[in-house]
Amino acid sequence: MKYFYFPALKTRSSELRAFSKLENKNGILPILALTKSRISKNNLTGSIDKKMNELKEDFEDIHFILDVSTEESLINNEIRDFLSPNDGFKKWVEFVKKYKKDFKNLIPCVHFAPDNIDDVKKQILNLDEFETLALRLPGNENLNEYLKIIDDREKIILILDCLDKYNELNTANDIKNFKGLIYLASTFPKTLSGNDGEIKLNEQEYYLKKLTNEYCYGDYGCAYPVRYDMIARGWIPRIDIPVINDDEAMVYYKKNKTDEKISTEEAYIKIAQQLWENEFIRKLNMVDNWGYKFFMDAAKYSTIIGKSPSFWISVRMNIYMSLTLSKMKKLIKVKSLEI
């Protein structure tokens, strides 16, 4: 299978829903950051086994890279144990080996700890039954020092994660002989204040101008790289619609406060109708796209299915990933990865 697009997704409901509802997944190799499952009275610890069972419907038969989240609000003690370098990251190695039988195309990420190099190398040796591994490193000034440590590169996909610093890659980096090279970044902002209803996503433009011939393209699926919790006083209904063409990637958005006169449902309908006036959004005409159909239902027929921020994050990411995959497949010079 040939892959053209590599979105980095956390295993939260909004991001998993966005991926699950894609009308076409061929050509996408997702990079999943494992998070704890939803806490409940019957699941007080956020069981990781429960989360893996949730993944089976969409990932049982497809290739995907499995990493873990390092964000404290998204992890539990099980994931903390996976990140421990003790005895060659023993807990992590045992975990991915256990799930290899359930996910036949699972590609485990090698955990990297520059102060525990022997454990990193032992981890790689102990994962020898996997045909392909991945290694996610920060794309910053320390990269070459990290890369000196990695000897056996032929089975490793190198992911250079620049987070929201999309212009930091240095062409002098020693990136030879890896099975694949993925550039990963996102310029979707942490907050939307001061953007006047539109956002330009510069990571695609930077990639196309400077990196197309060397790296495969990855991003955070039109999300900020790090989880951002809304302030305590609540949230304002908002809809974001991505539009992507050959020259640029944009997100157009509107928001509307609720009060005693305007319900959440009415606010979302009003927002959708305002966005429908945008000619670029109307021209998308994505009749088979899950997210776009829900947006059109709200804009044209005043029908609202989801009234939570999580649902509309899924809509945004679903539209964006569909458009980005289509764009990357059409580019003549785009770098792809075959597994």
Let me know if residue 197 belongs to a domain.
yes
Q: Could you give phi then psi for residue 294, rounded to 5 degrees?
A: -65, -35
Distance CA 251, CA 203 (A): 13
Whether residue 82 contacts residue 95, with contact meaning beta carbons closer than 8 Å, is answered with yes
Let me know if residue 295 belongs to a domain.
no
Let me know if residue 253 belongs to a domain.
no
Q: Could you give phi then psi for residue 259, rounded to 5 degrees?
A: -155, -165
Q: How much is the pTM?
A: 0.95
Let me know if residue 311 belongs to a domain.
no
* pLDDT tens track for 72-107: 999 999 999 999 999 999 999 999 999 999 999 999
Distance CA 65, CA 31 (A): 5
* Parent domain of 220: 2-232+316-338
* pLDDT tens track for 216-257: 999 999 999 988 665 445 678 999 999 998 889 999 999 998
Let me know if residue 87 belongs to a domain.
yes
Let me know if residue 221 belongs to a domain.
yes
Distance CA 270, CA 43 (A): 38
Let me know if residue 47 belongs to a domain.
yes
Let me know if residue 261 belongs to a domain.
no
**pLDDT value for 230:** 54
% of the chain beyond a pLDDT of 70:
98
For the chain, how many structural domains are there in total? 1
CATH of the domain at 80: 3.20.20
